Chain A
């Protein structure tokens, strides 16, 4: 698999580490109680038959966290953005 890092260009899979689902968001000011919202965030993941938005880390490169849109059926990657940009957009 090849991932086009926004900073480094197209690179081989060996340079990246996989993290997981990017659609789960950490409960903001979620408090100190282990609510079901927290359980969902920490443990529950979808396994979609198709497009998956997920986090990768460019470990052997620029150390950027990336949001990668990938089809789980054929591994075709349709979008790569830096997690920082996505996160800033999410919080604004």
Chain B
């Protein structure tokens, strides 16, 4: 119930919200948890396994019980901690894991069956028959156990990511954190102060960058910290252009851990009933939110720390029936405060059991002399001591150490640059503590891990069955493996295992904490990188031109390339066939800008090319281009392309589109690391030059119309594989290469990127009289298969130069990358699958990439596999399907009939092995 005064809530701002469809009112400054308690709502959820009624245990991010589905529709978020949800007008929350309702949960029958659901239950019960697991057991278990429901829709919110830099990062804006931030700031340091709670008036330091609602969830190498700022989670919907959350990478020279401590529950029977709360949480609800969680409380303690909770209850309207102190002698400080409010203190006593159906109604206290006294109450405030919130200290592999004096783990080694202060360092907590890990008789209803329903009995069972090592304990019982990562459970669980095995806690060990400290939405980590923004999109210089012609685009790596240019009524195949035939019979243009282009200059440029290519380069004349193959150092083919010699010390290399970045990085490696003495410079010019292929019997006719007259591009002057600098269209600088990927008379014209669209338009205009067409990557691909050029499907990282028919390009006269390893006998073996062409015997059969090859009379079993189809296309030039394939001993098998077997797509037919160069094998068209 709401107190008439006190707290930091704003009573002038009432806020309406609903929980399970029921309307309630709270105030600005409330959390969902405090507002529910103010309205007398204690039952907020059902437990994971047993569907036991659960209430609000804590007032912070450690909350294991009060998990709700927040919001509706695409914004519905499961497993949201009610203790961390700031109330906003119109908030809608639902309880989860119950059917049909929270008060009448039919699956609470699981609680009656709990002996069957104890630790290890799944492992033991659902073993047999194995086939039942996937079909029957798992769906049933998933339906019965579990937490909230996924929204099932795309996230409606946006997220941002960013970097922050500071001298000192202070984590936690409690008393110790604020003090540390203040001291660092007055020393002149750049300070960032992060706190997971809502903004606090106590922080008033203009020189400090204060990030409230920000959880530092992980510590990483080099003083890097991961943090999530909940920018708009306290609003119904983020404001326009406001992200829901921000993921910060904070780089800090030093950090101060001021995360405080997390209170431990006490382990007694039915300690999970709604109304049983942490004493510190009761105090927080009274003092911060002006809410009395109930009318009559019993306080159960084993140290002095709960004295402030006792005082808070005493000063409020709550009655306190008794202080149950497990210590043989209660400290004077407890006795004094209790006496001030006339509260009886039972020293040497424990609560052995709570009673109640949907909430606590009474407790049974086992007194020092063995008697049992019953107290009616609707709140049990318990405190078994506090654990320093030292999770971040172990993210870089440091382990906390046990401090017997305060019966808690404290930081030992710390990440570089980190200092722990206040309660996080174990200061001023657990005074005069006498550890009490479970009360006598704590049974299968005495919970250690509330969220995963792990009880004291489960831990004893784990020990009995030999799962004694702490990591085994964790996995066998699932202790600490829920979304709260055992913040309230782990130390109690460890101590119980220590008791069961007769060891000390330090002998038993601790599990290590890993990031994230609290759950982090994947959306926050992804930030803006989702959907089309997952990766950047690169547009070619002719993109707008192609778009205006109705091109259909395809993603190739980051690039969007024109795939085909359909005319009215054409599908992709009809358009592609038309484009291929137009190039073969007349002329066409295609943007090839995406090929990697690398400018190589310097006195040692030719020598450098000798090192990275397998073939010879010193004898390439100025004004000529040459095809080259690159290997990796392990002898497999890395990439191929052409390189042109522009002048004495100036070369321009092209790479495949896919490997452009990789090849450039490789060349830098060769230059900087392997041959540093070479005087050569490299730069990527892929984005600087637009490049368009002009191909077809009329290519030269079109070219002559755009190249300025001072340049002679006749066949005699500018033959096959010529290269040079020209001007076009009246003075525009260009580079001209007589290269052909299509197998026709062809040129590639490169102009500064800004002229790309204009060049395409100029070529179309010049080619109009010759019936020029634009063609896309589909037609390009068909023509390269017709010409038997290996591409990505063949340059797959597993093929050698010999496999692809490039054996003659391996120079015997010089060192080059991959030379020695390419000479390994296994890579030279002619029995290896190598490149062939395939032609179906029945021309109606369609070859498909991935189909396997068998001897024509072989059984279709893996042992008989002889290779596979790497690339296939319908060839409009030949009127049937053609393919490239890697076939064992393929080069020696031209003319043989083999079986093409593709059971997944019902392919099983015969094909003839042929020369991979289907079209113009003599190359006469190239030289026309």
Contacts and interface: CB of A to CB of B under 8 A. Distances in A.
Contact of B672 (A29, A42, A64, A74): A64
A84 B224 contact: no
A76 B416 contact: yes
B669 A1 contact: no
Contact of A65 (B664, B668, B677): B668
B221 A1 contact: yes
B: interface residue count bin: 20 to 34
B90 interface: no
Nearest to A28: B815
B820 interface: yes
B224 A32 contact: no
A65 to B, nearest CB: 4
B512 to A, nearest CB: 15
Contact of A2 (B222, B812, B819, B820): B222
Contacts of A83: 672-673, 676
B223 interface: yes
A77 B222 contact: yes
Interface in B345-389: none
A2 B673 contact: no
Contacts of A19: 669
A1 B823 CA distance: 40
Contacts of A1: 220-222, 224
A87 B674 contact: yes
A62 B221 CA distance: 22
B416 A88 contact: no
Contacts of A2: 221-224, 251
Interface string B185-227: 0000000000000000000000000000000000011111000
Contacts of B220: 1
Contacts of A91: 676-677
Given A42-B633, A55-B669, A63-B668, 6 more contacts: A12-B251, A26-B633, A26-B674, A32-B819, A64-B672, A65-B673
Interface of A: 1-2, 12-13, 17, 19, 26-27, 29-35, 38, 41-43, 55, 57, 59, 63-65, 74-77, 82-84, 87-88, 91
24 contacts: A1-B224, A2-B222, A2-B224, A12-B163, A12-B251, A29-B815, A30-B820, A32-B812, A34-B821, A38-B820, A38-B821, A43-B634, A55-B673, A63-B665, A65-B668, A65-B669, A65-B672, A74-B396, A75-B221, A76-B221, A76-B416, A84-B672, A88-B676, A91-B676
Given A1-B221, A26-B674, A33 B823 contact: yes
A42 to B, nearest CB: 5
Contacts of A32: 812, 819-820, 823
Interface of B: 163, 220-224, 249, 251, 396-397, 416, 633-635, 664-665, 668-669, 672-674, 676-677, 812, 815, 819-821, 823-824
A1 B225 CA distance: 10
Contacts of A30: 815, 820
Contact of A87 (B221, B224, B672, B823): B672
Contact of B821 (A13, A42, A88): A42
B397 A74 contact: yes
